[in-house]
Copies of this chain bind each other. A is one copy, B any other.
């Protein structure tokens, strides 16, 4: 049987590794897929640039549209990134009747709804396993492996750079900015790290996970996101003393009031597996009503791991080329006409969590009474209080509170009142706490 013909848009690290994996494991992949998979063309930005993969038997061009429209090509792999040119090219590929495989989380999270509609119109697949958690087959696990479950919640470490920084802060007691520079030197973090440490990258991935878990359209604009830039080594240490780790989590939870979609630093019990996922690794914990908790762990980034997911998608596409489009696995796990578009996203003010609070207080007797009074007035129960020694060179005393679960809006009010106290200095640090049980 003729090999399936693939065109790549982008031939740098992920593209190059995709070619390398397809060649290195070509025999095994064909033994699985039943057909060979051959990259016949690749669009590149600069024909002169050196490549990390062999390019024999492959047409290289600077004209991406030529690849997208090439009648010989069955599947287009989009590795351009971003939501500008990539969107245009993917639309053109779909309109030309090509199946699409993409690693582009921003594209899917922000434009997936339109792209999938267009793909249905043209009877083609758009596969995006590589868009979330790199090589971990988390899309497939939720979409197919847990298809019998009503998914209750998902909590994931889905940004490797952020996890690397938090791990270094914990293990080495280093400052955020210091570790970030190192991550940039090591190539883990982009020159502009905003998407990684600000939560945008995790929000893209969470958007996708929530859709396939709950059967809702992609709602990126409604994800609450908070980065890790304000986490200090002191917070990491205090959390550890209390038996917690701080992880930057994406959390999606179905509640009676609506779906929670939130990305923020989170204290989780140190004994949980998720708390022990360190460095650049990713892991996603999924709670299903029948299966209970399942966890999926692996490399969330890296060119070979991402290529692993791209090739898995290619094999899936090859296997369903001849399937009636109506019987393929739906893009978002649920049939397009069965997505619950009216399911509300819960505003962050209405989300209930427990909290870690860190205050800088004058070392005088009345402070504790004032603060506990404010918390009590808003119905906020205190789980633990720790008054720590002042940091070296500081005269003010850090006080740590762990609270029980309370609505975010009540905590907002309480924090505003606490910050207005004369005996409290600077902003109150607030980190949400989840037991993940």
Contact = CB atoms under 8 A, between A and B. Distances in A.
B296 A296 contact: yes
A294 to B, nearest CB: 3
Interface string A268-279: 000001001100
Interface in A6-32: 17, 21-22, 24-25, 28-32
A320 interface: yes
Interface in A113-151: 129, 134-137, 140-141, 144-150
Given A29-B148, A148-B312, A289 B24 contact: yes
Given A147-B33, A149-B25, A289-B25, A135 B277 contact: no
Contacts of A145: 129, 137, 140-141, 312
A48 interface: no
**In which size bucket is the chain A interface?**
35 or more
A297 B297 contact: yes
Given A31-B215, A32-B335, A215-B28, A310 B21 contact: no
Contacts of A327: 34, 319-323
A297 B319 CA distance: 27
A191 interface: no
B276 A288 contact: no
A308 interface: yes
Contacts of A24: 150, 289
A158 interface: no
A308 B149 contact: yes
A307 interface: yes
Interface string A247-287: 00000000000000000000000000100110000010000
Nearest to A22: B148
Contacts of A33: 147
Q: Count identical subunits in the complex.
A: 2
Tell me the interface secondary structure of chain A in the complex.
Answer: mixed
Nearest to A290: B308
A293 B335 CA distance: 33
A316 interface: yes
Given A137-B146, A145-B141, A322-B327, A298 B291 contact: yes
Nearest to A135: B291
Nearest to A137: B145
A57 B28 CA distance: 46
Contact of A17 (B29, B290, B338): B290
A334 interface: yes
A65 to B, nearest CB: 27
Contacts of A25: 148-150, 289-290
A276 B305 CA distance: 24
Interface string A324-343: 10111110011100100000
A295 interface: yes
B289 A298 contact: no
A307 B288 CA distance: 12
Contacts of A319: 327-329
A379 interface: no
In the A-B complex, the 7 residue pairs with the smallest Cβ-Cβ separation, listed nearest first, are: A137-B145, A148-B311, A294-B298, A135-B291, A31-B338, A291-B308, A290-B308
Given A147-B312, A273-B273, A292-B305, 15 more contacts: A21-B148, A25-B290, A31-B338, A137-B145, A140-B140, A148-B308, A273-B277, A273-B297, A276-B276, A290-B304, A291-B298, A291-B309, A297-B297, A319-B327, A321-B327
Interface of A: 17, 21-22, 24-25, 28-34, 129, 134-137, 140-141, 144-150, 215, 273, 276-277, 283, 288-299, 302, 304-305, 307-312, 314-316, 319-324, 326-330, 333-335, 338
